[in-house]
Amino acid sequence: MILGFVEHESGVPEETSLEMLTMARELATDEEAVLCAVVFGDEGAALKDELGPYGIEEIHHVTHDRLEGYAPEGWGESVAQLVSDLGASTVAAAGTDRGHEVLAHAGATLDAPMATNCVDVTGAGESYEVRRDRWGGSLVEHARLEGETKLVTAAEHEYPIEEAASTTEPTVNEFTPSLEDAHLRVRVERVETADEEGIPLGEARVVVGGGRGVGGPEDYDKLEELADLLGGTVGASRAAINEGWRPHDDQIGLTGAQISPDIYIACGISGAVQHMVGCKGADKILAINTDSEAAIVQKADYAVIGDLHEVVPELTDAIREVT
Partner 1 sequence: MNVLACIKRVPNTGAKIVLTDDNQRIDTSNLGFTMSPHEECAVEEAIQQVETHGGSTHVLTLGPEEATEQLRTGLAMRADEATLLETDGEEWGPRETASAIATAIRDLPEDDAEFDLLLFGNESADMANYQVGVRVATELDLPCVTGIKSLEVEDGVATAKREIGGGEEVYEIDLPAVVSVKEGINEPRYASMRAKMQARRQEVGRLEPDRTEAPGTFEKTRLEAPEADDSDAMVLGEGTDAVPEIVELLESEIEVL
Partner 2 sequence: MSDSDFPSSADTVIIGTGIVGNSLTYHLAEQGRDDILLMDKGPLPDPGGSTGHASNFLMPVEHSKEMTHLTRRSIEQYDDMDTFTNSGGIEVARTDERMDELERRVQSAKSWGEAGRLLTVEEIEEMVPYVNTDIIKGGFYSEGAGTCDPLRAGEVMRARADDAMEGGLTLSPNTEVIDLHVENGAIQAVETDRGTVEAGEVVIAAGLWSPKIAEMAGAEIPLTPAVHQMVSVGPISFFEDYEGEISFPVVRDMDTQMYERQHGNDLEVGSYQHRPILWDVEDIPSIDEAPLSPTQPPLTDDAFEQSMADALEIVPELLDDPEAGIRHEIDGLLSVTPDGMPLLGPIQDVEGLWSCAAVWIKEAPAIGEAVAQWMTRGWSDIDLHGSDVNRFYEYGTSRKFVENRAHEGFQKIYGIVHPAEQWQSSRPLRTSPFYDRQDALGARFFEAAGWERPQWFESNEDLLERYDDDLEGLKRPNEWDSRWWSPIILAEHLHMRDNVAMVGDMGFGKFDFVGSDVVDYMERMAVGRTDVDVGKTVYTPILAENGGFVSDLTIARLGPEHYRVITGGAAAGGDRAWFGDHIGTDEDVTLIDRSESLCTLGVWGPDARAVVDSVVEEDVSHESFPPYTAQELTIGEVDCWAMRLSYVGERGWEIYTSMGQGQRLWDIIAEAGEEYDIRPVGMGVYGTTGRMEKGYRLHGHELELEYTPAEAGLTFHGVKDANFIGKEAYAEALEEDNAATLCTLSVDDHTSSDGERRFMLGNEPVLNEDGDVIVDEEGRESYVTSAGTGPSVGKHLLMAYLPPEYADEGQGLHVEYMGEQYPVTVDVVGSEPLFDPENERIRS
The residue ranges that bind partner 2 (CB under 8 A) are 212, 238-239, 241-244, 248-249, 251, 254-256, 270-274, 277, 291, 293-295, 298-299
Q: Is the Cβ–Cβ distance between 7 and 98 less than 8 Å?
A: yes
Say which entry of partner 2, partner 1, none residue 187 contacts (CB below 5 to 8 A, set by partner kind): partner 1
Among the listed ranges 44-52, 165-173, 209-217, 228-236, the one in contact with partner 1 (CB under 8 A) is 228-236
Smallest distance, partner 2 to C-beta of residue 142, A:
22
Query: Cα Rg for the chain, rounded, in angstroms?
Result: 25
Say which entry of partner 1, partner 2, none residue 182 contacts (CB below 5 to 8 A, set by partner kind): partner 1
Smallest distance, partner 2 to C-beta of residue 293, A:
6
Buried-exposed string 21-36: b where 16+ CB fall within 10 A, e elsewhere = bbbbbbbbeeeebebb
Residue type, 296: I
For residues 119 and 132, what is the distance between their CA atoms, to the nearest angstrom?
A: 5
Does residue number 123 form part of the binding site for partner 1 (CB under 8 A)?
no
Say which entry of partner 2, partner 1, none residue 73 contacts (CB below 5 to 8 A, set by partner kind): partner 1
For residues 231 and 222, what is the distance between their CA atoms, to the nearest angstrom?
A: 14
Contacts of 309 (CB under 8 A, 6+ apart): 215, 219, 222
Among the listed ranges 19-27, 138-146, 168-176, 245-253, the one in contact with partner 1 (CB under 8 A) is 138-146
The correct pick among 176, 185, 221, 249 for binding partner 1 (CB under 8 A) is 185
Contacts of 310 (CB under 8 A, 6+ apart): none
Site for partner 1 in 90-109 (CB under 8 A): 97, 100-101, 103-105, 107-109
